[in-house]
Structure 1
Amino acid sequence: MVACKFYFFITLTILLFAINVASAQDQDTFGSRMNPKLLRMNKEKLTHFRFYWHDVVSGPKPSSVTVVPPITNGSTTFFGLVNIIDNPLTLGPNITSKRVGQGQGLYASASLEEIGLLMLMNIAFTEGEYNGSTFTVLGRNTVFSKVREMAVVGGSGIFRLARGYVQAKTYFLDLKSGDATVEYNAYVLHY
């Protein structure tokens, strides 16, 4: 009977030690491999979006606001300017077209030689199957180039782990007011 209790005690001690070691390893683990199918990442899809981005800086309800003015040394490129944006995205070029989302983020004039913006923007959809999902655009936007290309660097919702690119083409620009409408074609790889 004493031997049986002794073996039971030893077995219980070894079992508890093994559980503690396993628990400690779990707490010390920084990352672990996962099966992508657990997150429904079975097959990557390519989706094309075309929408119009409206940068309204004039009037009583601007969607783009300067938070850092340009440097004051007579820069013709507005170097140093930073605008925060919450720009409407529409199906057509008219701002009264059906709204499908918002372009939210910022742009900054980051070139001394030409009007070249650093764009950092979340494309946040509010319509259809993409409602509530976003993808993020990051890149250089030389606004007077015919077509500008920027990277899609991630996303949320349907666009988790998204990658791809956007091409931006100015549809309308009012040099006096600063208002602009830009056609965006986005090519997004996602699961």
Structure 2
Amino acid sequence: ISFYLHDLFFPTPGVNVTTAIVLPGTNNATMFGMVAIIDDKLTEGPSIDSKLVGRAKGILAFDSISNISLLASITLELEGRDGNINLLGQNRALDPQREISIVGGSGEFRFVQGFATLRTHSRE
């Protein structure tokens, strides 16, 4: 399964923000202490206007004072699929490629386990 996650973290005029910052954090450089709730689009291609294939919903907690790193608990809800996939783990956002644990799922994804590979396509 391959898709693009669009995490719209900070407001941009004319764009619907899909992240709510519930605790601002204490360190501007690494966002340490920031907690956010997400409901992000998953699309077929890198454009936010690409075909919607699902949503990523969950909680992000920025957990490092020395780099931009966050603890992520995310549920992937995929269009046309019966069930979801659950991710849990640390995401060092500036690393070129990261892995996060797939810890389970429901429906057709029941008992799924393994890892997901994350890469940042672009930042604005």
CA deviations on 1:5-45 (whole Å, 9 max, x unpaired) are xxxxxxxxxxxxxxxxxxxxxxxxxxxxxxxxxxxxxxxxx
Q: CA RMSD in A?
A: 1.1
The 3-state SS of whatever aligns with 2:121 is strand
Structure that is richer in strand per residue:
2
- Pair member with larger Rg: 1
Structure that is richer in helix per residue:
1
TM-score by length of 2: 0.93
Q: 1:104 aligns with which of 31, 34, 57?
A: 57
Equivalents in 1 of 2:19, 2:119: separation in Å? 18
Cα drift, residue 160 of structure 1: 0.8
The 3-state SS of whatever aligns with 1:162 is coil
Of structures 1 and 2, the one scoring higher in RCO (CA 8 A, sep 6+) is: 1
The residue aligned with 1:76 is 29
How many residue pairs end up in the alignment?
121
Q: 2:20 aligns with which of 53, 65, 77?
A: 65
Moved beyond 4 Å, runs of 4+: none
TM-score by length of 1: 0.61
Q: For structure 1, list consecutive stretches of 5 or more residues without a partner in the other structure.
A: 1-48, 175-191
Equivalents in 1 of 2:50, 2:21: separation in Å? 26
- Between the aligned residues of both structures, percent identity stands at 35
